[in-house]
Amino acid sequence: MTTPEDRTDPLTPDRAPVVAGLLLAAGGGRRLGGRPKALLTHRGRPLVEHAVGVLRAAGCEVVHVVLGASADAVRERAELPGCVLVENPEWAEGMGSSLRAGLASLAADPHGVDAALVSLVDQPGIGAEAVARVRAAYGSRDSLAAASYDGRRGHPVLFGAGHWAGVAETAVGDRGARDYLAAHRDAITPVDCSDVAKPYDIDTEEDLARLE
């Protein structure tokens, strides 16, 4: 039987692997008049709560949330029990800085995280079924997988811990992990989620109509 002590040691061969959710929720909503995306209302609550709920429903017991714009307001208004909240003071530099901050936080997590399942706060059309499919693609700490929509790569993306250093090294500006994924294209396991999710972003005033 796997004990709590086993879960903290990534070298224990028979422990259950820990695939953690990493939610990037630091954006300031520049094209939304400066409204932080994490605090947009969806189904009566802040969008960040919905996104965390999706990760939980998909099986992620460990969830780290990277905050940036209006981080204090997010902490005050959103109910995120059990989440590790990671503040990224460099959020304005782009998604790359948030990805680096999140991976660094996961590397220090006492659970001994084996993989990061990275999702974005502004994609409410991607639900738990799609996220669970990508999570199920974990095979080892060298796993690399991504959701696919009509043949195009999207989120969430699963990075085994063996990839974190390389991702962090190349994550700059708004490109996030794009360069790393392009360089490791042949190693990516695509997970078709076209039938269960819609990968739209909430980026503009017009996109707000997609929120419920």
Q: Does residue 32 have a pLDDT over 90? A: no
Q: Does residue 108 have a pLDDT over 80? A: yes
Q: Which amino acid is at 122?
A: D
Instruction: With cut-offs at 50, 70 and 90, classify the pLDDT of residue 4.
Output: very low
Number of CB atoms found within 10 A of residue 144's CB? 23
176-205 per-position pLDDT tens digit:
899 999 999 999 999 999 999 999 999 889
pLDDT at 12: 57
117-163 per-position pLDDT tens digit:
999 999 999 999 999 999 999 999 999 999 999 999 999 999 999 99
Backbone angles phi, psi at 116, to 5 degrees: -110, 130
Q: Which amino acid is at 75?
A: R
pLDDT at 116: 98
Q: Which amino acid is at 42?
A: H
Instruction: With cut-offs at 50, 70 and 90, classify the pLDDT of residue 6.
Output: very low
Q: Name the token pair of 181.
A: 């994924």
Instruction: With cut-offs at 50, 70 and 90, classify the pLDDT of residue 30.
Output: confident
